[in-house]
Amino acid sequence: MVSSKSLKFHAGKIQYDEETNRCTPLPHKGVISIKPSAEEPEFLDFTWTPKSDQTQATPGTIEKDEFLLIPGDVTIKHIKSCSTGRVFALTFLSSGAKYLYWLQDVGDIDQLDKLTEKDQKLIQDIVDMISINEEEEIDDDEEEEDVKKVDEAVKEPKFKLPIGSISSVLDLKTIDAHLEKLSLDQLKELYGEYLPESIAADPTKSEIMDVIRSGFFQQCEQKLSESLRSGSGAGYLMSQSLKYEYKGEGIEGFLNGVRELGKKDKKE
C-alpha cells in the first residue's frame, strides 16, 4: 500500500552531455513535490516546478515536469560521478527513461557532491514511497536476481532514452512489410472494423497504407504518443481500455502490452 506521506524540497534540473559524460546542474531554482495521486491513490504524483519569479523573468523557457510514479516501476539513485553538485536520478524501469535533478539546499561547500544527513533521509523517504511492500518472504535467489535487474537499470554512466513516438518503432516500412504477408481475407478480418466504411468491406494493402499515411491518422498517432510519453497514467488507462496486461508507463510499456495481447489472441 502506498504511503500517505508527502514530500516537498528544493531541487534543480540537470543537463546531461552524452559526449563528455558530464552532468551540469542548471541554475534555475525549483521545487519538487511527491504526493499520493488524487486520481490513482495507489500511485504518486511527481512534479518539478520552477519558482514563479524565474518563470516571469524568462517566460516559456522553463518547463514544468509532471510524472506519475508507480511503486515498483521507478528507482532513485545518488549519482556519485557528478562532482559539481548533489545529484540524483529517477529511473523508470518499464521504459528506461532517466530524469536527473540536483539538490539546492545548502550542503558541504568543500565537497559539493557529498550528501548531507538531510539529503540521505530525503532519498530514503523517497525510496520508501516508491517501493512495493511485499508481505511474503522472497526466495534468496529471486531477491538477488531482482537486485541485479535494478542495478542494471540505474547503472552509470549509460542513459537509455525513452522511445519518442509509436511511429519510430512501427514505421511505414515495417507496417508495409507486415501487410504484405497477409491475404485479402486476413486484411479484412484483422483491420476491417477499424477502417473507413468506404473500404472496410473489402480492404486492400494499398488502401490501408493510404489511411496510415493520412494526416488524420498521423495526428492521432502523435497525440497518443505524447500522452503515453507524458507519464501521466495514460499507459495504465490504455491497458484498462484495451484489456491487456499493464506493462508500465511510456510508449515502450504500451507496445509491450499490445504485443503480449496479440500473442494471446493468436494462440486462442
pLDDT of the chain along its 268 residues, tens only? Answer: 455 789 999 999 887 766 776 666 777 889 999 999 988 888 999 999 988 755 444 444 678 899 999 988 899 999 887 777 788 999 888 778 888 999 988 887 778 788 999 999 999 999 999 987 654 444 555 555 555 554 554 445 444 445 667 887 788 888 888 889 889 888 888 888 888 888 888 889 889 888 888 878 888 888 888 888 777 788 888 888 888 888 888 888 888 888 887 777 666 6
For 208, other C-beta atoms within 10 Å of its C-beta total 21
Calculate the dihedral angle through the C-alpha atoms of 115, 117, 122, 125, rounding to the nearest 10 degrees: 120
d(CA 70, CA 43): 5
Domain covering 7-153: architecture: Roll (2.30)
What phi and psi values does residue 187 have, to the nearest 5 degrees?
Answer: -60, -45
What phi and psi values does residue 32 have, to the nearest 5 degrees?
Answer: -100, 135
Domain ranges of the chain: 7-153, 166-267
d(CA 60, CA 75): 30
The pTM (predicted TM-score) of the whole model is 0.49
